[in-house]
Amino acid sequence: KMDKDNLAIFKKFKEMTRNGDYAPVVVEEDKLQGFVVRADEDIPRLTLIAEYVGQVDYARNRVFDKNDSIMDLLRTPHSSTSLVICPETRGNLARF
């Protein structure tokens, strides 16, 4: 569960995205890293920039996956019960 402050920030973020307001960022190609996200102007501290979006899968199914953008969603002592987010077919700027 999110605490009261984080929940308020998340609700504000969802409201802003529904209205088409997004953090001032640009996705650019980088010769060393592929793609990166750069701030287009100063972003206030603690601003939520994007949700991490992708398909949820069991960690055991991604042990040998070459994707470098997989993120833990739920980590348990066993890969058969741990969950990860994989943004390879569905994702957004957060994967960069």
pTM: 0.66
CB 53 within 8 A of CB 90: yes
For the stretch 22-78, pLDDT in tens is 888 999 999 998 889 999 999 988 888 888 889 999 999 998 888 888 989 999 999
Write down the pLDDT at residue 92.
82
pLDDT value for 45:
85
- For the record, the structure tokens of 90 come out as 């569905």
Averaged pLDDT, 2-17: 86
pLDDT band at 90 (very low <50, low <70, confident <90, very high): confident
Helices marked H in 1-96? 4-18
Task: Give SS3 for 39.
Answer: strand
51 contacts 94 by C-beta, under 8 angstroms: yes
